[in-house]
């Protein structure tokens, strides 16, 4: 995965993390995911796998607004395709 691809995903996650309409616990998990993606001590494929797993768990939250769920699945799609 290229640095540009990671940067684009990080920007999308950052926008979600700053969105006050998203529940605080979800924003906190998004911030954790961002930390995983930028951790250079971990192999990139492992970082991507961990991020996909974490975002997938977030998207399964029944209290999540539909538009947020769609944003999360869009990010998963970006991670899987890169």
What structural domains does the chain harbor?
3-81 (1.20.1440.50)
Q: Is the pTM of this model over 0.85?
A: yes
Query: How far is C-alpha 36 from the geometric centre of its chain's CA atoms?
Result: 9
Q: Report helix angle 3-18 to 24-37, nearest 10.
A: 160
* pLDDT in the model for residue 82: 65
Structure tokens at 43: 């192999």
pLDDT band for 1, please (50, 70, 90 cuts): confident
Cβ proximity of 18 and 64 under 8 Å: no
33 C-beta neighbours (distance < 10 Å), count: 25
> pLDDT for 35-79, tens place per residue?
999 998 999 999 999 999 999 999 998 889 999 999 999 999 999
């Amino acid at each position: 995965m290229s640095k540009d691809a990671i940067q684009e995903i990080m920007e999308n996650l950052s926008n979600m993390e700053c969105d006050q309409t998203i529940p605080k616990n979800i924003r906190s998990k998004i911030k954790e995911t961002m930390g995983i993606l930028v951790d250079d001590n971990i192999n990139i494929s492992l970082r991507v796998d961990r991020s996909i797993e974490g975002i997938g768990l977030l998207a399964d939250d029944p209290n999540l607004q539909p538009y947020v769920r769609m944003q999360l699945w869009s990010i998963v799609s970006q991670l899987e395709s890169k």
